[in-house]
Amino acid sequence: MARNVSVQTRIGFTIAAWAIALLLFSPILWVLLTAFKTEAEAIASSPTFFPQTFTLENFGAVQDRSDYFKHAFNSIVVSVGSTLLGLIIGIPAAWAMAFAPTKRTKDVLMWMLSTKMMPAVGVLIPIYLIFRDLRLLDTLQGLTIIMTLINLPIIIWMLYTYFKEIPVDILEAARMDGAELWNEIVHVLVPMAVPGIASTLLLNVILAWNEAFWTITLTSGRAGTLTAFISSFSSPQGLFLAKLSAASLLAIAPILLMGWFSQKQLVRGLTFGAVK
């Protein structure tokens, strides 16, 4: 039964929601406006909110200093590649935990989740030495592997939540019809879990795209992503705020647009099973 809510309450919640949304969006708005200011105006002691002199020179300077499209290509390869590799590993793992659990399944799930609580710097030295010995430093293959390992617990947890909602009777019917394990996963389970897989894919692409610690630590120039592209505009001479804002805007624009157009799938992925 729906709860009766007064008009004043609705207006109050609406105003509060817009206020919170604007507060969260304000850093992005500030970066957007600063990107179109001159450097002198951006670092002025009395900053202005809107650009007094609208200019596009920062974007040209950013491209002249560092190849944006190369870094964007690297970000796409690493984020999409690591997510697809994670799905290839995560779908069978989540199937096993959802439909063939053992008494240790819950412990394994909690152990995987606990790895996300460990500071990345805690494993920096062994990871760096392993990558050095395997010649994976400053390579797209190395970044793809590390991003897969970072996000694999989230992939398995999200898929496990979706798979638990699928009736076991459907899979048993497929087995009775003679479906082998591979056919059961590929032709029965995966098509039924397409919304969950899509949400998992979108969320993990965003997480891999925004990862800064490992992309800056394990790359120098050849395999640098857009996070490394942004950090290159911080120099010993100081912060070039207008150029840094332009670089940041170019880096976040693709993933911001993707998040905007796929927000329904993202919200579903982040809240699925929350009531339970």
Task: Write the pLDDT tens digit of every residue in 205-228.
Answer: 989 999 989 998 898 878 889 888
Beta bridge partners of 239: 234
Helix axes 194-210, 140-164, angle to 10 degrees: 150
Top-confidence residue, 11 or 4: 11
Give mean pLDDT, residues 103-118: 88
Side chain identity, residue 141: Q
What pLDDT score was predicted for residue 276?
Answer: 43
CATH 1.10.3720.10 domain locations along the chain: 67-232
pLDDT for residue 275 is more than 60: no
CATH topology of domain 67-232: MetI-like fold (1.10.3720)
Task: Check: CB of residue 199 under 8 Å from CB of residue 268.
Answer: yes
What pLDDT score was predicted for residue 194?
Answer: 83
Integer Cα distance of 175 and 184 in angstroms: 7
**Mind listing the pLDDT tens digit for each residue in 83-102?**
999 999 999 999 999 888 88
What pLDDT score was predicted for residue 115?
Answer: 86
pLDDT for residue 265 is more than 50: yes
Alpha-carbon distance values, 83 to 60, 188, 242 (Å): 32, 22, 33
Nearest alpha-carbon partner for 145 in 192, 237, 97, 214: 214
What pLDDT score was predicted for residue 237?
Answer: 56
**% residues pLDDT > 70 (the chain):** 92
pLDDT for residue 234 is more than 70: no
**Mind listing the pLDDT tens digit for each residue in 15-30?**
999 999 899 889 889 9
Find all residues with CB under 8 Å of 141, minimum gap 6, and list them.
none
pLDDT for residue 145 is more than 90: yes
What pLDDT score was predicted for residue 271?
Answer: 63
pLDDT for residue 254 is more than 90: no
**Mind listing the pLDDT tens digit for each residue in 147-199?**
999 999 999 998 998 888 888 888 888 888 887 888 888 888 888 888 888 88
What pLDDT score was predicted for residue 168?
Answer: 84
Helix axes 124-133, 140-164, angle to 10 degrees: 120
